[in-house]
Structure formats: C-alpha cells, structure tokens
C-alpha cells in the first residue's frame, strides 16, 4: 500500500513538472512570436502611410494645377486675348447704346 501511494505521488509530481514545462514552452513560443507579429504590423502600417502620403501629394498637385489654371484663365492678358478672338473688343472705347439722364426736348 505504501508503494502504491509513493507511485501515485511520483506520477502526480511528473504530471505537475510536465505541465510547468509545457507552460514555459507555450509562453516561450508566444514571446518569440510577438516581435514577428509586431514587425509585420508595423510594416503594414508604414505601407499604408506611404500610400496615403503619395495620394495626398497627388491631390495637392492637382489642387496646384487647378489654381494655376484658374489664375491663368483670370489673368488680364488671357481675357484680352479671349475678347479679341471672340470679337468683344475689350480694349476698345465703349459705345453708348442708350442715352440716360438727358431729355430730348
């Protein structure tokens, strides 16, 4: 009977040691995998950052091109050239179309 008790205590001691070893192995593998996961996550975030920066630069370029086009179209030289081409006579002396303020009596 004493031998059975000792065998049982030895078996339960082996199971306890195996459980602790297994726990250390799992924790060790987790500790080794966390930096790899974090590095992959950082790389993914940097990829998104650079793609968003590229898109923002492209949109800023488009805004600058639109501003340049607006400034070009509203410049006096462009308006006078357009008036000459359209026959509006922007630089000519204006012609009175209707007499105002005078009576014809």
Structural domain of residue 13, as residue ranges? 2-86
Q: Is pLDDT larger for residue 6 or for residue 67?
A: 67
Domains in the chain, number: 1
Residue 68 belongs to some domain of the structure: yes
51-77 per-position pLDDT tens digit: 999 999 999 999 999 999 888 888 877
- Which two tokens mark 24? 């250390």
94 within domain boundaries: no
24 inside domain: yes
Q: Which position has the higher pLDDT, 45 or 98? A: 45
In a domain, 26, yes or no: yes
What are the start-end ranges of the H helices in 1-105?
2-74, 76-86
Q: Is residue 63 part of a domain?
A: yes
Considering the domain boundaries, does residue 99 fall inside one?
Answer: no
């Amino acid at each position: 009977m004493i031998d059975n008790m000792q065998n049982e205590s030895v078996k339960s001691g082996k199971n306890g040691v195996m459980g602790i070893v297994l726990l250390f192995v799992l924790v060790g593998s987790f500790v080794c995998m966390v930096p790899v996961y974090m590095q992959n996550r950082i790389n993914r975030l940097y990829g998104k950052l650079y793609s968003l920066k590229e898109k923002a630069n492209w949109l800023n370029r488009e805004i600058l091109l639109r501003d340049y086009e607006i400034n070009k179209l509203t410049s006096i030289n462009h308006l006078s050239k357009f008036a000459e081409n359209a026959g509006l006579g922007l630089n000519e002396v204006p012609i009175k179309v209707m007499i105002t303020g005078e009576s014809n009596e």
